[in-house]
Structure 1
Amino acid sequence: MKMIRAMIRPEKADDVTDGLEEAGFGALTKMNVVGRGKQKGITFGNSHYDEIPKVMILIVVKDDDVEEAVNVITKKAYTGNFGDGKIFVSAVEKAVTVRTNLEGL
């Protein structure tokens, strides 16, 4: 299993979650976060914004489904501008459903 963490623009969050749902990845967690990327914030006139609002989507998928899920996210989150986001993929050692105590997805 792999965990995919995607930091994306807030205005693209619904497009991404809808795209994941259509592709069969309905279980996810979505939360509002703030952060900055390589550009270290943005400047408008005399104002500098160090932390930019983003949405983080967390999804755990089978190893074989990682590329498909990442492709959906990149396609749906893309605007072509700086700050479109970043995707991180990491291994999940174990997943347990609280209600049933069963392991796995």
Structure 2
Amino acid sequence: MKKVEAIIRQEKFEELKEALETDLEISGMTVTQVLGFGNQKGQQTYVRGQAIMTSLLPKILVSFVVKEADVESVIQFIMTICKTGEVGDGKIFVSPVDEVVRIRTGERGTEAI
């Protein structure tokens, strides 16, 4: 099993969520609102005529635990939906998951996903 975490633009989240519900057999996801910066380095906004530089930008962190065989299709799916070609599209991280346990039933492994 693998954990796929994608940091994406806020405006792409609803489109990704709807597409996942209809196109992929993903049984669940965790969504977190996060702040961060990378190559985008923040953005300049204006408040009452004053320029203010915001270095931490709001993003959405979406996490999935999937079977190893599904990792590449999930990555390609996220990239297809979330890619705009502009700086700030986000990143995808993949890490191993040693064990999953469903608390309610005690199921383990892929049955618990």
Provide the TM-score with structure 2 as the length reference.
0.85
Q: What are structure 2's unaligned runs of at least 5 residues?
A: none
Task: Report how far residue 81 of structure 1 moved.
Answer: 0.9
Identity rate, percent: 38
Provide the TM-score with structure 1 as the length reference.
0.91
Q: How does 1:57-72 map to 2 (within 5 A)?
A: 57-72=62-77
Match for residue 15 of structure 1?
15
Task: Report how far residue 42 of structure 1 moved.
Answer: 2.4
Task: Report how far residue 52 of structure 1 moved.
Answer: 0.3
Q: What are structure 1's unaligned runs of at least 5 residues?
A: none
Partners of 1:64 and 1:25 in 2: how far apart?
A: 13
- Determine if the alignment matches structure 1 residue 83 to structure 2 residue 88: yes
Give SS of 1:39's match.
coil
8 Å contact kept, 1:5–1:58: yes
Task: Report how far residue 72 of structure 1 moved.
Answer: 0.8
8 Å contact kept, 1:2–1:89: yes
8 Å contact kept, 1:33–1:53: yes
Partners of 1:34 and 1:77 in 2: how far apart?
A: 18
Give SS of 1:60's match.
strand
8 Å contact kept, 1:35–1:54: yes
Task: Report how far residue 33 of structure 1 moved.
Answer: 0.9
Structure 1 residues 26 and 103: CA distance shift in structure 2, 3 A: closer
Match for residue 99 of structure 2?
94
Count of aligned positions:
105
**Letter of the 2:35 counterpart:** V
Partners of 1:61 and 1:26 in 2: how far apart?
A: 9
Partners of 2:72 and 2:20 in 1: how far apart?
A: 12
Match for residue 37 of structure 1?
38
Q: Larger Rg: 1 or 2?
A: 2
